[in-house]
Structure 1
Amino acid sequence: MSELPPCPDRELMLELSETRRRFHRTPELSWTEYLTTARLCQELEALGYSIEWGEALYRQPPGNPPDSDTDRAAWQRAERTLGANNRYLSGMRGNRTGLVATLEGNGPGRVFGFRFDIDALPINESLDAGHEPAARGFASEHAGIMHACGHDGHLTIGLGLARRLAARRERWGGRVHLFFQPAEEVAGGGAVFAGLPQLAEVERFLTLHLGILDRYRIVFDATWIAARIYDVVFRGRASHAGNAPQDGRNALLAACQAVQGLYALPRHSGGMSRVNVGRFRSDNAQNVIADEVRLRYEVRGADNAICDFMAAAAEQVLDGAARMNAVTWERSVFAEFSSYPNSRDLAESVAATARALGLPEALLQDSFLVSASEDAGFLIQRVREQGGQATHLILGSPVGGGHHSPTFDFDEELLGWGVLLFESLVLDKP
């Protein structure tokens, strides 16, 4: 396996490591990133960026908010840390988290956009001595919540880039928008941020993800498969299972047949396709025919068309299972991830920049299709449809127990390389 050379700027690395560990200690779930957003706002405004957050950023509260207990706990934690009258926190009620920071350069130039997701996952972080965040004393302080996918690293790269661009403002022209996006893990923030007016100005758009490949590799054109995630409820009629089974309409039987049918769906020859049922619940006595069952399932495809094919086929399965058992069913969208191709010209520019920075050729990879989903696809699509260029990078690294696991971690040297790559793109005037 190729090794990652150390970032040549050791002062930068010390700063980034401290930043990453500070945010790793205080993770927040999707749509409740109150403390994270406020801290980002405070530092970015102090650096000279104009910022938009909270009510100024959102025309209306975002969809898919967390349950009230989760939201209340996150808000109270932020209030205890920042004070109830914190100016950044006060505008975020209604789950209006995340922000956009903008800085003008020295004279005319391109408009760049960089996106960094900021949310964490509902996972208890490992406290084993072999897990470096625990061993070095920066494991999560919030029980049941963990940065288990590298978003603490992503926002650290965003802050590191912001600091460098502010300090070298005389060396670049144009404008930079930094999008610190909430709720990637539930695929809500990307769709919201894709509609922001700042994105309409962007000519060059970049985003990245740490890890993914579980080996050292820099990928310049990473695409992600599309996904549709649905909540389903089957409703029947309850009756005594022994005394009057003929009077019941069995929602549980319909749901079980639906699950079997979903897993039996034919795959698509045009590319990767996936299906999974991840949640199934029926609160019912054993002697009563179930009148309500809820489940959550997902379909995925290598592109939006394949994903749509899987979604339509799944709908037929659900409807057929309901009809066979004379029950009704309803389906609602829980989350969506779009897949959209990157700009080859921009990917090649990033590759040339990586070579100029001295990254070894053995670490560089042109493209990769990730068999997971990422809601930055909505932003990439928006930029490309308005005539701009966009690409998604992977900064590959071994990640301990894997993404979304209690032992997830990554090599912090990648933080420095991510900052230098993005900074060099902005400083390279057209």
Structure 2
Amino acid sequence: FDIDALGVIESQDDSHFPAHEGFASVNYGMMHACGHDGHATIGLGVARVLSEIKDSLHGTVKLIFQPAEEGVRGAKSIVAHGHLDDADYVIGNHIGGFGTYGDAYFIPGSGGNMATTKLDVWFHGASAHASGSPHLGHNAIQAAAACTMNLYAIPRHGAGASRVNVGTIQAGTGRNVIADVAKMEMEVRGKTTEIKDYMEEHTRKVIKACAEMYDCTYEIKVMGGAQTAESDPELMARVKRVIEEHMEYKVADYIPQPGGGSEDVTYMMHRVQEHGGQATFFRSFCKTDGPAHSRVFNFDEVVMPRVVRVFASVVYDIMK
């Protein structure tokens, strides 16, 4: 259950349901714009249900409340600390709006998430008077600007989809000063880990070349990342069977999609799968307001008890 918020300024308009009802974010510039507040609530609901039937369960259940999904950092740390080393199954979920699967409430698994690396990049130059002595300066803004344009010119990989994006550039101290520092926050993605690695390799070449072009130095810091992963057919079949046998919810078969999203739950899935376990990342659908990551995003709360029921029922089916 991922629990982190996003750096989004939430709408305070009365037409925005959380604002109208008085539960919009109280932390300016931070917002639950991807449903993770719902995920946290679902996790607590699952904990309550499983505690009520604990005498019927044979084995150990771990409920993982994961931080830092949006920067794809949290899951890797959880795996590194060994929390999945003894797990035979890992089951994750994300809520979202109706779309490709029509009026289905669930798909029992998913895959094809893009591998990604998140990078912070700094160009370091030398400041100088922009008119009096520009020849003494080394313009970090020029390096960052050239880098941005050339990153989007990286040749795409023939084996699958790839992405590059510079999301922020911060630089400069005044209109008449040659900027000595510029910072970029950026990401690369690939349909496979190999394609992502290709994009990252070329990104690093572009950064190095643009720094040299403007007599700047540079530094790169990896801020997060995620792998690709596929849900196990056997566990997907179990999830679908449990829903169909015990619930009235419509469930559709997972169909691989060309979407460009990334999820770091893939680290948990890989860890369990590599020692013979099974993993799935099922999806749940409901009515939503606005697109995810927007300042007006909201979801129909009816989805939460549905997902609690699915989680608890699948755990019971495995451990009864």
TM-score, with normalisation over the residues of structure 1? 0.68
Residue of structure 2 equivalent to 1:247: 136
Q: Aligned partners of 2:22, 2:256: CA distance in 1, in Å?
A: 35
* Residue of 161, 182, 193 corresponding to 1:293: 182
Q: 1:376, 1:177 → 2: CA distance?
A: 15
Q: Which residue of 2 aligns with 1:132?
A: 17
Q: What SS is found at the alignment partner of 2:311?
A: helix
Aligned partner of 1:170 in structure 2 is 55
Q: Secondary structure at the match of 2:109?
A: strand
Contact kept in structure 1, 2:172 and 2:180, CA below 8 Å: no
- Confirm or deny: 8 A CA contact 2:141 2:172 kept in the other structure: no
Deviation at 1:216, TM superposition (A): 4.5
Stretches of structure 1 that go unaligned for 5 or more consecutive residues are: 1-115
Q: Identity of paired residues, percent?
A: 37
Unaligned runs of 5+ in 2: none
Q: Which amino acid aligns with 2:224?
A: A
Q: Give the corresponding residue for 2:227.
A: 338
Choose from 262, 266, 270 the match for 1:373.
262
1:236 to 125, 133, 136: 125
Which one-letter code corresponds to 2:243 in the other structure?
A: A
Question: Whole-Å Cα distance in 2 between the matches of residues 248 and 124 of structure 1?
Answer: 37
Check the 8 A contact 1:119/1:185 in 2, yes or no.
yes
Selected match of 1:408 from 297, 300, 309: 297
Indicate the structure whose relative CO is greater, using CA pairs within 8 Å and at least 6 residues apart: 2
For the residues of structure 2 that align with 1:209 and 1:179, how far apart are their CA atoms?
Answer: 14
- Report how many residues are paired: 314
For residues 301 and 310 of structure 1, what CA distance do their matches in structure 2 show?
7
For the residue of structure 2 that corresponds to 1:366, the secondary structure is coil
1:132-153 CA-partner distances (Å, limit 9, x unpaired): 2233333333333322111111
Post-superposition shift, 1:204?
1.0
* 1:143 matches 2:32: no
Equivalent residue runs for 1:71-90 within 5 Å: none
Corresponding residue SS for 1:231: strand
Select the residue among 191, 194, 197 that pairs with 1:302: 191
**Alignment correspondent of 2:3:** 118
Secondary structure of 2:253 counterpart: strand
Q: Give the Å deviation of 1:359.
A: 4.0
**Aligned-pair CA distance for 1:283:** 1.6
Check 1:315–1:137 CA distance in 2 against 1; reply closer, same or farther (3 A cut).
Answer: same
Structure 2 length as normaliser, TM-score?
0.90
Q: Is the 8 A contact 2:172 2:178 kept in 1?
A: no
User: Are the counterparts in 2 of residues 228 and 337 from structure 1 also a CA contact under 8 Å?
Assistant: yes
Contact 1:221 1:368 in 2 (8 A): no
In 2 relative to 1, CA 406–286 (structure 1 residues): closer, same or farther, beyond 3 Å?
closer
1:384/1:429 CA distance change after superposition, 3 Å:
closer
Amino acid at match of 1:305: E
Matched, 1:204 2:93: no
Distance change in 2, residues 1:268/1:173 (3 Å): same
